[in-house]
Structure 1
Amino acid sequence: MKPTASEDLPQDIVLEYELDAPPEKVWRAISIPEFREQWLPERALASAEPEGSTPAEEVRYRMRDDEPPFLESLVTFQLRPAPGGRTMLRIIHALADARLECAANDAGPFLMRAA
């Protein structure tokens, strides 16, 4: 049975954390470059500017691998208040590079020539 197109493509990675900090403080850590640089270096980003933002709720960054084949992905950070002044942080890592649609072992003829 051949997999459908949606089964062939990588799925998003979704992580959720409850943080012991108010949403305002977490928002500053993910949206202000000077604070963000401490845990998400600018060299990991395809662009220093966010791809999109809803203030105090969501920010998206395009990231690029620093090694070949330099694949790109889109990482979304979503915030919502949690009881007790805490914050729920949801991180969605979506692989967005079109090169992911081809099979990893599509180099068969090249390997045959090397033998």
Structure 2
Amino acid sequence: MKLLILYIDIGRWDGGHDGQYPKVIAWDLENNERPMSISEGWGHGLGGGEYSLNEFMTSEWFSRLEEPKSQWARKIIAGKGATGQKKSVGQELLKESENHRFNLPSNLKEILGRWGYRVNA
């Protein structure tokens, strides 16, 4: 799995001691059917899931991309995703991610890297 981070809220996460965080929206570069990967935190009983592009665009998660750090991703997804160009969306997100990096603590970057996230940080 190779995941590109589009949105992340680390909240009070401090090395894994707050199970409500991090909340992550990512694009799975290897999953053409359900490329949207959502994590609602890492605590017991929390979840997430994988969504198709259409499912994601009609979900509450899509509105999270209105955050200033994620607006670039929303613009790409709303533009090309509405026309059903999944492959093109993924390619453009990957390219643009180089210009939109997240400033994350090094221990979080390390964990995300182990889990297959391509951390644009």
Q: TM-score, normalised by structure 1?
A: 0.25
**Higher-helix-fraction structure:** 2
Which structure's relative contact order is higher, taking Cα pairs within 8 Å and 6+ residues apart?
1
Greater C-alpha Rg: 1
Q: TM-score, normalised by structure 2?
A: 0.25
Structure with the bigger percentage of strand: 1
